[in-house]
Amino acid sequence: MLKIEAVLQPSKLDAVKDALLEAGIEGMTILEARGHGRQKGHTEFYRGREYTVDLLPKVKIELVVVDELKDKVIEAIESAARTGRIGDGKIFVSRIDEAIRIRNDERGESAL
C-alpha cells in the first residue's frame, strides 16, 4: 500500500478531485496548508511599510492506495494540476505499513 501526498494550489483542488474520482479513487483526505517552494511570497502593506508574506495558502491531498494504482493516481493529479508555472506543487509517495477500517477492524488492502 502506498501513501500519495500532493501539495497543490488551492485553485486546482476541484480539478484534481474530479480527476481522481474519474480514475476510480474514492477515498481521500484534504488538508489546508501553508507553504512555499521556490515560489516567492507576496508583499503586503501595513501602515506604510512593506512586508513579505512567505507562507502561501496551499491544499494537501492525501491518499492511500494499492501499489498497482500508483501510476494512475499520479497521472490524474499531474494532468489536472499542471500549469507549467512555478507553484504547481509536488507529489510524494511513501510506503504504508498497515491500513485498518475502524467500523469493522478490517485490515490490509481490503480496508482501503
Partner 1 sequence: MRGRSILLLVPSTLFLFLFAATFSAVAQAPAAQAPATQAQVAALQQQIQTAQMNADNAWMLVSAALVLLMTGPGLALFYGGLVRRKNILATMMQSFAMMGLVTILWAVFGYSLAFGHGNAFIGGFEHIFLRGVGLTPNTDYAATIPEQTYMVYQLMFAIITPALITGAFAERMKFSAMAVFLSLWSLLVYSPMAHMVWGVGGLLNANGGQIPSLDFAGGTVVHITSGVSALITAIYLGKRLGYPHTNMQPHSMVLSFIGACLLWVGWFGFNAGSALGSGPLATSAFVNTHFAAAAAALGWTIAEWIHNGKPTALGAISGAVAGLVAITPASGFVQPFPALLIGLIAGAFCSFMVFEVKSRLGYDDSLDAFGVHGAGGTLGAILTGLFATSAINAAFGKGVPTGAIDGHWGQVLHQLAGVGIAWSISIVGTLVLLFLVDKIIGLRVSPEDEREGLDLSQHGEEGYDLNS
Stretch that binds partner 1, among 8-16, 41-49, 76-84, 92-100 (CB under 8 A): 41-49
Shortest spacing between CB 32 and partner 1, in angstroms: 11
How many CB atoms neighbour CB 16 within 10 A? 23
Among 11, 41, 51, 106, binds partner 1 (CB under 8 A): 51
Shortest spacing between CB 43 and partner 1, in angstroms: 10
Cα–Cα dist 24/107, whole Å: 21
Among 26, 38, 49, 103, binds partner 1 (CB under 8 A): 49
Residue 96 has phi, psi (to 5 degrees) of -110, 135
Residue 97 in contact with partner 1, rule: CB under 8 A: no
Cβ partners under 8 Å of residue 101, min gap 6: 107, 111
